[in-house]
Chain A
Amino acid sequence: MNRLLTWFEHIFSDKAMMQERIIKLFLMLCSLLTVLVTLGIIAVLAVDTFRFFQVVSIIDFFTDTQWTPLFEDKHFGILPLLTGTLLTSFIAIIIAVPMGLTIAVYLNEYAPKQFTRVIKPLLEILAAIPTVVYGFFALLVVTPLLQKIIPGLGGFNALSAGLVMGIMIMPYITSLSEDALRAVPGSLREAAYGMGSTRLQTAFRVMIPAASSGIMVSVILAISRAIGETMIVAIAAGQQARLTLNPASSVETITTYIVQVSMGDVPRDSIEYKSIFAAGMALFVFTFILNNISFWIKRRIGNKYE
């Protein structure tokens, strides 16, 4: 109390000082708001997830193989939504990581500066396009193309959504991996050349291992994005929860389910409504863990060369 009083006396004693303090306090309160957002997210998800689990057994939630909250015969097994999410994300990642990394290595180790200066902004356009546009593209362009190659492929399928998502995520991997590669000191590259390595050997045996933590971070962040991506899968992958790992099948992801319930007329206090919070919690926990692994890597091993 005493300290508080002296603090007040102190700040009111000088006009300029007071102004400084008030501004600093205001800035601090603004930044405090960002903490409130995080706490808000956790609180909102936790409260309704708790209410959800008062009705649905937590064991059923993790072991039941059906997710049918919107049907007469209700089942609340998250597994079909999880496999749907993992399947589309997996397809996206096996497209995005090799392509993104190859381009990053090429731009950093091979390409003339002029080429990089033109190509990079063009590729970054891919990252600026709204996801609903990619959904349109997946459903009306990529799926019909795939149907010509794979006869009998349904109008909604995990493959098309995953492929398009991969293209969307690729520029992130390119851009983050390129930053990591650029942070490696030139002396390492020169040493490799000096030993008679080709550019390919330099890239894969020296540069990539040296930049590995940054590249790992880019891959983890890409996975996290793929898991949280909504519109592409909601439009092109279908809205039927199915426990399958078949890429030609239509699947429902966690995010799609949340959209599906939001579009419909679900009463506020029903179990269907609460189920989006349980699904949202699963999604949040997933991405939270992935993001924090990437921060951890960045902190522990990241600044080796920076």
Chain B
Amino acid sequence: MNKQRTHQRKDTAFRYLALACTGLGLLVLALLLYDIFARGSGRLSWDFITHLPSRFPEKAGILTALAGMVSVMVLTMIFAFPVGIATGIYLEEYGTRNRFARILEINIANLAGVPSIIYGILGLEIFVRFCRLGNSILAGALTLALLILPVIVVSTREAIRAVPRSFREGSLAMGATQWQTIWNVVLPSAFGGIITGLILAISRAIGETAPLIVVGALVYVPFIPEGPLDQFTVLPVQIFNWISRPQAGFATNAAAAIIVLLTFTFVLNGIAVYLRHKWYKKVKH
């Protein structure tokens, strides 16, 4: 009887411990967001968004970093989305049984685990030096495209796998070819899931800092890039640069820039969560 009570006490103790762990995680999240808002929200203004960088913290703005970020993201999407989706389709619909597909699968799992800074080194040697693209938007975008490729492949595969087998069989039985089945039946059904994966991938790319530093995203760009071969900086690199400076004014700038960056990340993630929720409901019915 006594033993049972100790067991029950342990059980309750674990519950409190687990709640404490959960609470600590959420507390850190709250503290992080609070601190950034407390420091940065006062600095946030239309001027801050539309000004060029400056040596003086109170004059500096994030216009070039924002412009660089948008250009890099657009190009990254153009490169990574088609290739990632195509690879996902191939692995899920064509090559699930052969040896080549198995090698591809292990390879993609490995790529997903390669630290992002290694992609930076790859981009530096292949795109910046070998292809002579220099420290350009194009080189940065190609590097990020390779980085998010495995993420897109994995999410595309999951979305396609969720399409019931009977859909494909119905289409094939009507005399459609394999590609017609994929294009007209599988992809429309998997669309929501694929889009969710793409949004999450781009949200990850937006926050990446290290690989772009390695391919040479500059810390000081006094102009708005006009073409894909121009030099550039992006918001996270600008933030890193401001954090590294001793003057307190730059820490305030960094906090304000982080608010802008987090807005992008949270909006994208929010859209992804919403779409996934909607899509799952549809698939289930």
Q: Which of A1-51 contact B (CB under 8 A)?
A: 16, 19-20, 23-24, 26-28, 30-31, 33-35, 37-38, 40-41, 44-45, 48
Total residues of chain A contacting the partner, CB 8 A: 80
Q: Is the CB of B121 within 8 A of A45?
A: yes
Q: Is the CB of B269 within 8 A of A128?
A: yes
Which B residues lie within 8 Å of A27 (CB)? Answer: 86-87, 89-90, 94
Question: Is residue A123 contacting chain B, with contact meaning CB distance below 8 A?
Answer: yes
Which B residues lie within 8 Å of A180 (CB)? Answer: none
Which B residues lie within 8 Å of A268 (CB)? Answer: 129
Instruction: Provide the bound-state CA to CA distance between A77 and B244, in Å.
Output: 26
Q: Is the CB of B115 within 8 A of A40?
A: no
Instruction: Provide the bound-state CA to CA distance between A262 and B118, in Å.
Output: 12
Given known A35-B103, A130-B265, A276-B121, contact A231–B15 (CB-CB < 8 A): no
Q: Is the CB of B210 within 8 A of A231?
A: yes
Question: Is residue B108 contacting chain A, with contact meaning CB distance below 8 A?
Answer: yes
- Binary interface profile of B, 19-52, with partner A (CB < 8 Å = 1, else 0)? 1011011101101100110010000000000000
Q: Is the CB of B29 within 8 A of A37?
A: no
Which B residues lie within 8 Å of A258 (CB)? Answer: 117, 120-121, 210, 214
Partner of A141, one of B24, B35, B119: B35
Which A residues lie within 8 Å of B251 (CB)? Answer: 140
Q: Is the CB of A37 within 8 A of B243?
A: no
Chain B's nearest CB lies how many Å from the CB of A14? 10
Q: Is the CB of B265 within 8 A of A37?
A: no
* Residue from B8, B11, B94, B273 whose CB has the most chain A CB atoms within 10 Å: B11
Which B residues lie within 8 Å of A130 (CB)? Answer: 206-209, 236, 261-262, 265
Which B residues lie within 8 Å of A33 (CB)? Answer: 83, 87, 149
Q: Is the CB of A123 within 8 A of B22?
A: yes
- Binary interface profile of B, 93-132, with partner A (CB < 8 Å = 1, else 0)? 0110000000110111111011111111110111001000
Question: Is residue B70 contacting chain A, with contact meaning CB distance below 8 A?
Answer: no
Which B residues lie within 8 Å of A231 (CB)? Answer: 209-210, 236, 240
Partner of A227, one of B107, B115, B262: B115
Given known A34-B153, A121-B273, A130-B207, contact A263–B219 (CB-CB < 8 A): yes
Which residue on chain A has the smallest CB distance to residue B200?
A: A128
Which A residues lie within 8 Å of B95 (CB)? Answer: 28, 31
Instruction: Provide the bound-state CA to CA distance between A132 and B244, in Å.
Output: 11
Pick the interface stretch among A56-64, A195-203, A243-251: A195-203
Chain B's nearest CB lies how many Å from the CB of A130? 3
Q: Is the CB of B122 within 8 A of A170?
A: no
Which residue on chain A has the smallest CB distance to residue B32?
A: A137
Q: Is the CB of A26 within 8 A of B11?
A: no
Instruction: Provide the bound-state CA to CA distance between A299 and B103, in Å.
Output: 14
Q: Is the CB of A126 within 8 A of B29?
A: yes
Chain B's nearest CB lies how many Å from the CB of A92? 13
Chain A's nearest CB lies how many Å from the CB of B123? 9
- Binary interface profile of A, 200-237, with partner B (CB < 8 Å = 1, else 0)? 11010000000000000000010010011111001100
- Chain B facing A: main interface SS: helix
Which B residues lie within 8 Å of A132 (CB)? Answer: 207, 209, 236, 239-240, 243, 258, 261
Question: Is residue B63 contacting chain A, with contact meaning CB distance below 8 A?
Answer: no
Given known A30-B83, A33-B87, A224-B113, contact A123–B269 (CB-CB < 8 A): no
Question: Is residue B78 contacting chain A, with contact meaning CB distance below 8 A?
Answer: no
Q: Is the CB of A228 within 8 A of B117?
A: yes
Chain B's nearest CB lies how many Å from the CB of A21? 10
Which B residues lie within 8 Å of A40 (CB)? Answer: 122, 126
Instruction: Provide the bound-state CA to CA distance between A99 and B90, in Å.
Output: 39
Question: Is residue A65 contacting chain B, with contact meaning CB distance below 8 A?
Answer: no
Question: Is residue B177 contacting chain A, with contact meaning CB distance below 8 A?
Answer: yes
Which A residues lie within 8 Å of B137 (CB)? Answer: none
Chain B's nearest CB lies how many Å from the CB of A155? 10
Q: Is the CB of A135 within 8 A of B240?
A: yes
Known: A16-B177, A123-B22, A134-B32. 7 other contacts (CB 8 A): A19-B179, A31-B91, A122-B29, A123-B26, A132-B261, A140-B243, A230-B209
10 closest Cβ contacts across the A-B interface? A228-B115, A130-B207, A106-B18, A30-B86, A291-B113, A27-B90, A230-B210, A31-B87, A44-B125, A200-B11
B-binding residues in A (CB < 8 A)? 16, 19-20, 23-24, 26-28, 30-31, 33-35, 37-38, 40-41, 44-45, 48, 98-99, 102-103, 105-106, 110, 119, 121-123, 125-126, 128-137, 139-141, 167, 170-171, 198-201, 203, 221, 224, 227-231, 234-235, 255, 258-259, 262-263, 268, 276-277, 280, 283-284, 287-288, 290-292, 295
